[in-house]
Amino acid sequence: MTAQWTLGEFELELTEDSQRIVLFVEGHRDLAFWRKLLPTAERDRASVYPISALECPSVLGGERGRLIWAAKTFLVHELSDRLRFFADADMDKLLEVETPRNVWTTDYRDLECYALCPVCFEELCATGLGDAEKAAPLIAAISNVARPVGLMRVASQRLQLDLPFNRTLEKGFGRFTDRRASSFDQRKLAQALLQNAGISLSELARYEAACASEQERFRDLIDAHLVHGKDLVRILAHCLNIEMAAVTPIIFLSIGACTSTVRMEPAISLALLWLGAQPDGLQNAPKVQAAATNYMTAAETPRHQSTRTWLKNVAAVLHAQAHRIGRLRSRKF
């Protein structure tokens, strides 16, 4: 997609419309996700755009990298209070990497992982696949294969090995697990990753030890915090014996069918409040606070983020929204 604005053009556009607020997301799939959660017709002064609409330099990390770059660029800008950015959490929470304060990240590792919420996954199997009984074996397959691969990704990042997971797993998990994904040859995948990266197999023991360490460190985290979105697609395609390209739409359709559940996820509800999804947001604050409290105090929650900080963010958004609504009501049209 050709960029819609340069930075200067975007600044001018916001300056000319002093009430407008903008949320940037990573890509067009994210844009469709937010249109489902908050249809355009229900927005007042809020807009959601993919980061490709803004002219950004080529940086590491693809669209997510460009989004983080833009967030940092606007962090101390005079328009900063009218801009927010929403990105996949990726491994930032796991590795305790600090993101700019104007960036909200997914409650789970990737956008696709909202499908692992029980209600969404039930919808995925019952409607998307037409068989609710497939849920249990598929959840087991995710835990048996996609979860340990997620931990292997974390270990690679922590050791700065930059192992080529996507290239190695380009054809799926067939080389490393059986058809039902009841077992997983982690050593075989580790060897393949090292070889494809041009790293000596003498590093295998160190890498395997790091993987074991990550497994112990995050033993209490639910799969949704650890599973990479692409690995979720791969394991479902493997178990269902269908093309990966057919899996992604099923995942997002299942999420879209459960919007009431997804809207109550803390990061989502926070962004929706900021976008003005609920004009009576102050009345709905207890629901959001309850969701945030339940999430942040759960055993599976990444431990470095506190409930107090999260609720403080919720309060700040509610205050800003009330102020914005007050300004709109006081204007003479």
Distance CA(283)–CA(260), nearest Å, equals 17
Q: pLDDT by residue (tens digit) across 85-142?
A: 999 999 999 999 999 999 999 999 999 999 999 999 999 999 999 999 999 999 999 9
pLDDT band at 312 (very low <50, low <70, confident <90, very high): low
Write 9-18 long-range contacts (CB < 8 A, 24+).
10/54, 11/77, 11/79, 14/79, 14/82, 14/83, 15/79, 17/45
**Encoded tokens for 9:** 């053009």
Distance CA(309)–CA(294), nearest Å, equals 14
- Is the predicted pLDDT of residue 326 greater than 70, yes or no? no
Q: Does domain 1-106 have CATH number 3.30.1560?
A: no
The residue extents of the domains of the chain are 1-106, 113-258, 265-333
Nearest Cα to Cα of residue 51 among 80, 31, 33, 76 = 31
Distance CA(265)–CA(259), nearest Å, equals 10
- Is the predicted pLDDT of residue 1 greater than 70, yes or no? no
pLDDT band at 319 (very low <50, low <70, confident <90, very high): low
Residues of the chain above pLDDT 70, percent: 83
Mean pLDDT over 307-317 rounds to 53
Distance CA(182)–CA(173), nearest Å, equals 12
Q: How many CB atoms lie within 10 A of CB 277?
A: 21
Across the chain, mean pLDDT equals 86
